[in-house]
Amino acid sequence: MLKVIAHTGALAMFAMPASTAAWAADKPQIDTGDTAWLLVATALVLMMNIPGLALFYAGMVRKKNVLATAVQAFAVAALVTVLWFMVGYSLAFTDGGALNGFIGSLSRAFGSGLLGSVHELAKTVPENVFLMYQATFAVITPAIIAGAFAERMKFSAMLWFMALWLLFVYVPVAHWVWGGGFLGAAGVLDFAGGLVVHLNAGVAGLVCCLVIGKRHGYGTEYMAPHNLVLTLVGTSLLWVGWFGFNAGSALSSGELAGSAMLNTHISAAVAALVWMAIEWASRGKPSVLGILTGAVAGLGTITPAAGYVEPWAAMVIGVAAGAVCYWASVILKTRLGYDDSLDVFGVHGVGGILGSILVGVFATRAINDVAKGQPVGLVDGNAGQILTQLYGVVAVTVFCAVATWVILKIVDAMVGLRVTRDEEVEGLDTALHGERVQ
Amino acid sequence: MKLVSAIIKPFKLDEVRDALTGVGVSGLTVSEVKGFGRQKGQTEIYRGAEYLVSFLPKVKVEIVVDDAQVERAIEAIQKAAHTGKIGDGKIFVTAVEQALRIRTGESGSNAL
CATH value at residue B96: 3.30.70.120
**CB distance B47–A222 less than 8 Å?**
no
Residues of A in contact with B51 (CB under 8 A): 222-224
Grouping H, G, I as helix, E, B as strand and the rest as coil, residue A392 is: helix
Min Cα distance A435 → chain B (Å) is: 25
* Structural domain for B14, as ranges: 2-111
Strand partners, B6: B61, B91
B43 interfaces chain A, CB cutoff of 8 Å: no
* Helices and strands (DSSP H and E) totals, chain A: 20, 2
Residue B62 has pLDDT above 80, yes or no: yes
Alpha-helical runs (H) found in A48-154: 54-58, 66-83, 89-93, 127-145
B48 interfaces chain A, CB cutoff of 8 Å: yes
- State the burial class of residue A10 (Cβ atoms within 10 Å of its Cβ: 0-12, 13-18, 19+): exposed
CB within 8 A of A25, min separation 6: which ones?
A: none
Residue of B5 and B46 predicted with greater confidence: B5
**Domains held by chain B: number:** 1
pLDDT in tens, chain A (438 residues): 344 444 444 444 444 444 444 444 556 799 999 999 999 999 999 999 999 999 999 999 999 999 999 999 999 999 999 999 999 999 999 999 999 999 999 999 999 999 999 999 999 999 999 999 999 999 999 999 999 999 999 999 999 999 999 999 999 999 999 999 999 999 999 999 999 999 999 999 999 999 999 999 998 898 999 999 999 999 999 999 999 999 999 999 999 999 999 999 999 999 999 999 999 999 999 999 999 999 999 999 999 999 999 999 999 999 999 999 999 999 999 889 899 999 999 999 999 999 999 999 999 999 999 999 999 999 999 999 999 999 999 999 999 999 999 999 999 999 999 999 999 999 999 999 999 998
- A193-219 confidence digits (pLDDT tens): 999 999 999 999 999 999 999 999 998
Q: Closest to B48 (Cβ–Cβ): which among A223, A285, A330?
A: A330
Instruction: Give the per-residue pLDDT at A13.
Output: 43
Nearest-angstrom CA–CA distance, A135 and A34: 18
Alpha-helical runs (H) found in A146-250: 155-165, 171-177, 182-185, 200-212, 228-246
How many other C-beta atoms lie within 10 A of the C-beta of residue B28?
A: 18
Q: Domains in chain A, start-ordered, CATH in brackets?
A: 31-432 (1.10.3430.10)
Residue B82 has pLDDT above 80, yes or no: yes
As a whole number, mean pLDDT of residues B5-26 equals 95
Nearest-angstrom CA–CA distance, A248 and A298: 18
**CB distance A343–B47 less than 8 Å?**
yes
| CB pairs A-B closer than 8 Å | 28
CB within 8 A of B66, min separation 6: which ones?
A: B1, B2, B109, B112
Residues of A in contact with B47 (CB under 8 A): 287, 289-290, 293, 329-330, 343, 346
A372 interfaces chain B, CB cutoff of 8 Å: no
H or E element: which one contains B89? Answer: strand B89-95
Cα–Cα nearest to A259, from A374, A415, A141, A366: A366
What long-range pairs does B95-103 form, CB within 8 A, spacing at least 24? B95/B1, B95/B2, B95/B3, B96/B1, B96/B2, B96/B3, B96/B64, B99/B1, B99/B64
**CB distance B45–A223 less than 8 Å?**
no
Instruction: Give the per-residue pLDDT at A27.
Output: 67
Computed over every residue of chain B, the mean pLDDT equals: 92
- A42-94 confidence digits (pLDDT tens): 999 999 999 999 999 999 999 999 999 999 999 999 999 999 999 999 999 99
Instruction: Give the per-residue pLDDT at A399.
Output: 98
As a whole number, mean pLDDT of residues B44-64 equals 89
Nearest-angstrom CA–CA distance, A346 and A350: 5
Prediction pTM value: 0.87
